[in-house]
Amino acid sequence: MAKIKMTTPLVEMDGDEMTRILWKMIKDELLLPFIELNTEYYDLGLEYRNETNDQVTVDSAEATKKYGVAVKCATITPNAARMTEYNLKEMWKSPNGTIRAILDGTVFRAPIIVKGIEPTVRTWKKPITIARHAYGDVYKGSEMKIPGAGKAEIVYTAEDGTETRELIHNFKGKGIVQGMHNLDESIESFARSCFNYALDTKQDIWFATKDTISKKYDHTFKDIFQEIYDKEYDAKFKAAGIEYFYTLIDDAVARVIRSEGGYIWACKNYDGDVMSDMVATAFGSLAMMTSVLVSPQGYYEYEAAHGTVQRHYYKHLKGEETSTNSVATIFAWTGALRKRGELDGNKELMEFADKLEKATIDTIESGKMTKDLALITTLENVTVLNSENFIKAVRENLEKML
């Protein structure tokens, strides 16, 4: 069979630890034998980020703006322990944070549903897609430790020099403060990305904040969503037979648990971070969650929702066998290849992505899976495969389909 050609490069962002190992296996076994893979490669592994003073991360985000579609491997966000482990010049920021700040946009995360992996929540029948606002709030916050008695205020200085002040607290002793921000423009694009994604996927969309307590900050999110919905989307939603629904975050949490799924849950940045891990875990596994950053200009960055699986990597380094689930990373590639195909009118590439996804799901449903899934599956007589053999089993299925 002739290899599938690609006209436009895909931005490839390599990463760290166990996922970097899986990355190479996926390319070698599932992509390179079938596609003339055309990528512009950026090494976001921590060593090279350190070497380039993190410039490589910025360059990879800029390349995403140029070509439109990227696929990213999980990366280490340095902490104190990593400073010593990698002998870092600086505690570099989270690459995802940097990329999101450059591309703006919204992160959509949806579980990959397979027979035999049943959600912990009995009522859930369909996927719940979390739409996470990817800009600002606590991720772009400034913080201060208050050493003792004194007054803390928020000060806004307009360009003409006039000041507006709001008291945070009159401290009597030690404490802490935090200042965070968001931008109307970013919230507007968040709203539009969510409404567009709802129309694209024909699903209802829920949005929730704590506007009863946060009467200016969270309330602004609520107002902007409502305004944009009323002006631009109401008619389109009615025509598509879908709904926009706003409620308080605590009410949303209760409703989500009682629901049967099948909708998009739009969350502010922090809520989306936390809730997507909860939803992923309750659907079966963090390793079965896809994630895509969609920018308001229509740039796409696909990745797995989990981290670099450090514990497995250390086992791998010791020469021990690992059974790390590569499904979310495979789906990051298929998502990116399908989108690239869609934008380039490359039908063959889109069909390949569909087949690779089907081959992956079929492999699990036939009882061949990694250990994390074997522990929770309702299927009987399963075969637990190591990291490499799972990918090889997917390849066998894929070859039968091509």
Number of residues this chain uses to bind Mg ion (CB under 5 A): 1
Nearest-approach distance from CB 118 to ligand NAP, in angstroms:
18
Q: Please name the residue that has the structure tokens 């309330």.
A: 219
Q: Which is nearer to Mg ion, 110 or 391 (CB)?
A: 110
The residues near 396 (Cβ < 8 Å, ≥ 6 apart) are none
| Binding of ligand NAP by 295 (CB under 6 A) | no
Closest contact distance (angstroms) between CB of 380 and ligand NAP is 21
Find which of ligand NAP, Mg ion, none residue 273 binds, CB within 5 to 8 Å per kind.
Answer: Mg ion
Q: Which does 74 bind (CB under 5 to 8 A by kind): ligand NAP, Mg ion, none?
A: ligand NAP
DSSP summary character for residue 149:
S
Residues 94 to 113: which contact ligand NAP by CB under 6 A? 96
324 part of the interface to ligand NAP, by CB under 6 A: yes
Binding test (CB under 6 A) with ligand NAP, winner from 25, 110, 309, 361: 309
Residue 308 binds: one of ligand NAP, Mg ion, none (C-beta under 5 to 8 A by kind): ligand NAP
- Rule CB under 5 A: which of 249-288 touch Mg ion? 273
| Alpha-helical runs (H) found in 27-75 | 46-51, 55-67
Closest approach, Cβ 72 to ligand NAP, in A, equals: 7
Instruction: Candidates 70-78, 116-124, 294-302, 355-363: pick the segment binding ligand NAP (CB under 6 A).
Output: 70-78
Radius of gyration for the alpha carbons in the chain, expressed in angstroms and rounded: 22
Q: Are the beta carbons of 181 and 192 closer than 8 angstroms?
A: no
Q: Assess contact for 204 and 242: CB atoms under 8 A.
A: yes
Instruction: Confirm if 301 and 333 have CB atoms less than 8 A apart.
Output: no
Cα→Cα distances 351→4, 72, 342, 370, Å = 10, 21, 10, 26
Q: Which of 35, 279, 287, 350 binds ligand NAP (CB under 6 A)?
A: 287
DSSP 8-state assignment for residue 232: I
Q: Which residue has the tokens 């409502």?
A: 226
- 397 is an interface residue for ligand NAP by CB under 6 A: no
Length of the chain as a residue count: 402
Q: Among all chains, which residue has been given the structure tokens 């076994």?
A: 29
Binding to ligand NAP in span 336-395, by CB under 6 A: 372
Q: How far is CA 198 from CA 38, 109, 205, 315, 322, in A?
A: 31, 13, 6, 42, 38
- Any idea which residue has 């999101």 for tokens? 100
Residue among 252, 235, 159 nearest 195 (CA):
235
Nearer to ligand NAP by C-beta: 5 or 311?
A: 311
Q: Output the residue with the shortest Cβ distance to ligand NAP.
A: 307
How far apart, in whole angstroms, are the C-alpha atoms of residue 248 and residue 266? 12
Name the binder of 324 from Mg ion, ligand NAP, none, CB < 5-8 A by kind.
ligand NAP
Which CB sits closer to ligand NAP, 86 or 171?
Answer: 86
Q: Binding residue for ligand NAP (CB under 6 A) from 71, 74, 107, 289?
A: 74
The residues binding ligand NAP (CB under 6 A) are 74-77, 96, 286-287, 303, 306-311, 324-325, 372
The residues binding Mg ion (CB under 5 A) are 273
